[in-house]
């Protein structure tokens, strides 16, 4: 990667664009201090696919391979993946592979759930590596969020930290795109698949 940056810096009249659907990897490229492109690129976040476009894409792909899937199952697939293109493609591919292996020509809601569970397992190595880059406090905070502790008071109780320390950690996590504020005083992990992985992999400290 360092050699690639050296090549880029030696070229004139050339512009490069790095694109990707996995937000965790892209954030590492931009904001991880050991990255050779640390704070050297302009971030343009395209966001999620519109639900209508995502639905049309999924339906067309399954129709092309001769598999039936209802609108309800498509909505479930999109909800699991949070409308992120990468997750929609991963989940769609795994669902197709499961259907083929079981000799199915039509898919149901349980098939979507099974495919999603397998997709999370396949992402374990990637998520584990990414999670190791977090500070201990960041780890505790996102685990609490993944378990539904969405406001600073419940997060403080769960992490056993003073509530006055939460705004700073939340601000840092939001600045890196890991956490988002969805209501006044309410926060959640931006990546729903990463959030589900955390809730399955790590238990609460204090408990419900």
Measured distance CA(97)–CA(102) in Å, rounded:
9
| Three-state DSSP state, 29 | helix
Task: Specify the CATH number of the domain 134-201.
Answer: 1.10.10.10
> What is the fold, at CATH topology level, of the domain defined by 51-122?
Helicase, Ruva Protein; domain 3 (1.10.8)
Boundaries of every domain in the chain: 1-46, 51-122, 134-201
Apex 139 CA angle, 117 and 27, nearest 5: 75
**Model pLDDT, residue 206:** 54
9 vs 158, which has greater pLDDT? 158
**Model pLDDT, residue 208:** 46
- Model pTM? 0.79
20 band by pLDDT with thresholds 50, 70 and 90: low
Which tens digits make up the pLDDT trace of 55-75?
999 999 999 998 999 999 999
Q: Report the pLDDT averaged over residues 142-161.
A: 94
The residues that bridge with 69 in the sheet, in sequence order, are 107
């Amino acid at each position: 990667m360092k050699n690639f940056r050296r090549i880029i810096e030696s070229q004139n009249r050339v512009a490069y664009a790095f694109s990707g659907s996995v937000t965790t990897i892209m954030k590492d490229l931009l904001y991880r201090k050991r990255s050779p492109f640390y704070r050297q690129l302009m971030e343009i976040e395209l966001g999620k696919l519109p639900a209508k476009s995502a639905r049309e894409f999924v339906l067309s792909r399954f129709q092309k391979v001769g598999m039936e899937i209802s609108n309800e199952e498509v909505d479930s697939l999109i909800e699991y993946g949070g409308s992120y293109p990468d997750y929609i493609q991963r989940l769609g591919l795994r669902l197709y592979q499961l259907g083929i292996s079981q000799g199915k020509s039509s898919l149901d809601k349980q098939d979507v759930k099974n495919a999603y569970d397998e997709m999370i397992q396949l992402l374990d190595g990637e998520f584990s590596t990414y999670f190791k880059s977090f500070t201990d406090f960041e780890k505790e905070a996102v685990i609490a969020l993944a378990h539904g502790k969405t406001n600073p008071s419940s997060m403080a109780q769960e992490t056993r930290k003073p509530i006055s320390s939460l705004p700073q950690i939340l601000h840092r996590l939001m600045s890196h795109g890991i956490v988002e504020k969805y209501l006044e005083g309410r926060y959640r992990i931006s990546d729903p698949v990463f959030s589900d992985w955390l809730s399955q992999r790590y238990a609460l400290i204090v408990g419900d």
